[in-house]
């Protein structure tokens, strides 16, 4: 099992995408999506 994991991380590193960075990128995308949704909610509020 460990060998296949090392193969996957090695392939990602060869592509220039370390596994940790890829996971962080996924987390950043979801966080960005959440903040964008909250901003849309604020924009929908009527101006006082």
pLDDT value, residue 12: 56
Q: Measured between alpha carbons, how far is 17 from 2 in angstroms, rounded to an integer?
A: 19
Is 39 inside any structural domain? Answer: yes
CB 18 within 8 A of CB 8: no
Mutual angle of helices 2-14 and 19-44, in 10-degree steps: 70
Number of independent structural domains in the chain: 1
In a domain, 36, yes or no: yes
pLDDT attached to residue 34: 73
Supply 31's token pair. 């966080």
28: Cβ–Cβ under 8 A, 6 or more apart, which residues? none
Asked if residue 25 is part of any domain, the answer here is yes
Q: For residue 13, what are the domain limits?
A: 2-43
In a domain, 48, yes or no: no
State pLDDT tens for residues 1-34. Answer: 566 666 766 665 667 767 777 777 777 777 777 7
């Amino acid at each position: 099992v460990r060998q296949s994991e090392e193969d996957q991380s090695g392939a990602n590193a060869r592509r220039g995408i370390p596994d940790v960075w890829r996971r962080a990128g996924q987390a950043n995308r979801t966080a960005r999506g959440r903040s964008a949704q909250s901003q849309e909610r604020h924009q929908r509020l009527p101006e006082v």
